[in-house]
Amino acid sequence: MTWQGDTVYRTGVERNADVIVTTGTEVPGYRILRCLGIVRGIVVRAPTIGQGLVGGLRSILGGNIQEYVDVCEAARHDAYVQMLAHSQHLGANAVVGLRYDATEFMAGVTEVLAYGTAVQIEGA
């Protein structure tokens, strides 16, 4: 799943030709025609038994724990994909103001939320 420190979720898999996504409040070179509303994707995720065991052992030594990174990256990716589907369902061709939020739901279980504002832009 990893290659030179990057997970498959960091290698551009989230690029989408149908919907432009930005953390900014506008899309440079385009004009926002219509705001369609807030869109979101929510994922609740826990490490597998294997990831928990290996991650727990590695946490004793400290440093980056790749097993936990993989869980977090997968959760963010899945939340992002759900948010894109929600925006497409509303007829958006862009999402502005993309943000991520994560909350520990219970011990070892984390909710990841990807959200933004679905818009229609001119010229896309």
Where is 118: in which H helix or E strand? Answer: strand 109-122
53 has pLDDT over 90: no
Predicted structure pTM score: 0.78
Task: Determine the average pLDDT of the residues in 28-40.
Answer: 96
Highest mean pLDDT among 17-21, 39-43, 74-78 belongs to 39-43
53 vs 6, which has greater pLDDT? 53
Q: How many CB atoms lie within 10 A of CB 87?
A: 27
CATH of the domain at 41: 3.30.110.70
How large a percentage of the chain has pLDDT more than 90? 50
Any residues with CB less than 8 A from the CB of 70 and at least 6 apart, and which?
1, 2, 7, 51
Contacts of range 7-10, beta carbons closer than 8 Å, 24 or more positions apart? 7/69, 7/70, 7/73, 7/74, 9/73, 9/74, 9/76, 9/77, 10/73
The total number of structural domains in the chain stands at 1
Which range of residues forms the domain containing residue 21? 2-122
**The pLDDT value given to residue 1:** 39
